[in-house]
Amino acid sequence: MFVKQSMDKGGRTMNKTEKLIGAIFAFIGAIFLIIGLVICINAYQKRAKWVETDAVVSEVIYRRDSEAVIVQYEVNGKTQEQKINGYSSGMVEGAPIHLWYNPENPAQIHTNALDMLHWMFIGMGGLFFAVGCSFFITPIIKGKKQKELLEQGEMVRADIVEIALNRAYSVNGRHPYYISCRWRNPENGQYYLFRSENLWYNPQDLLEEKQLKTLPVYLAPKNYKKYYICLDEIKVNDYQ
């Protein structure tokens, strides 16, 4: 049974929106990655050139929205006291802490407390970048698989059984359509259900206009779980 709906005029716009979202995610991810890598490289450069020493937490100042940690360490036999950048729950008065200081300016120090920061930036950046790239890579992979099925697959005509909204996916609050088809294998009588790729317009009117009750489905030899519903018969240039 068809789900009756009017044709949506936003098909092309939605494709561009998906690409824009992917580009934004990739851009944000790249920025986070660069920041994380800069912090990481800077930290390891300091560890390579600065003096490594053991210190102790001398005071923890608790504020409304942050904490200030003061540490003490020895520099050429003299006690140096300095505030560090960063805080963790293990930083309590009297707790030991490892740090590096600049031999030319002992007031400049570096601790492992910043390690979490650069790994956080790298992790978030990598995640955002991967999500953004998936918007571009996934269609390429799908395109290659579809091309293989078109060239090597077995073509059958499957009955159209439903047009529905893909409520598991949306862009700007809008859901795409998909077409469900069913095919009966004449060799063993078994039925197979297939689902098309997303469409950003309702194909109902086109199917009725062309009086289409079936669509071509290309099946991978000996593995009908791999298939491709060819929608060339109902594609509209304004939406694809």
Residue matched to tokens 């802490």: 97
Read off the pLDDT of each residue in 87-109 and give the average, rounded to a whole number: 86
The per-residue DSSP string of the chain comes to: -----PPPS-HHHHHHHHHHHHHHHHHHHHHHHHHHHHHHHHHHHHHHHSEEEEEEEEEEEE-SS-EEEEEEEEETTEEEEEEES---TT--TT-EEEEEEETTEEEEEEEGGGHHHHHHHHHHHHHHHHHHHHHHHHHHHHHHHHHHHHHHSEEEEEEEEEEEE-TT--BTTB--EEEEEEEE-TTT--EEEEEPPPBSS-THHHHHHTT--EEEEEEETTEEEEEEE--GGG--TTT-
What are the backbone angles phi and psi of residue 77, rounded to the nearest 5°? Answer: 80, 0
pLDDT tens across 189-216, in order?
999 999 999 998 999 999 999 999 999 9
**Alpha carbon distance 196, 164 (integer Å):** 11
The mean per-residue pLDDT over the stretch 171-183 comes to: 92
Q: In this predicted structure, which of 2-16, 99-113, 193-207 has the lowest mean pLDDT?
A: 2-16
Q: 198: exposed, middle or buried (C-beta count within 10 Å: 0-12, 13-18, 19+)?
A: middle
Q: Which amino acid is at 227?
A: Y
Q: Are 170 and 198 in contact (CB under 8 A)?
A: no
Q: How sure is the predictor about 1, in pLDDT bands with cuts at 50, 70 and 90?
A: very low
Answer yes or no: are the C-beta atoms of 213 and 159 closer than 8 Å.
Answer: yes
Euclidean distance between the first and the last CA atom of the chain, given in angstroms as a whole number? 25
Pair 166, 176: CB distance under 8 Å: yes
pLDDT of residue 6: 38
User: Nearest CA to 166 among 12, 13, 14?
Assistant: 14
Among residues 7, 41, 24, 61, the alpha carbon closest in space to that of 171 is found at 24
Q: Average pLDDT, stretch 112-134?
A: 87
Q: What's the predicted TM-score (pTM) here?
A: 0.64
Predicted pLDDT of residue 118: 79
User: What confidence category does residue 156 fall into, taking pLDDT thresholds of 50, 70 and 90?
Assistant: very high
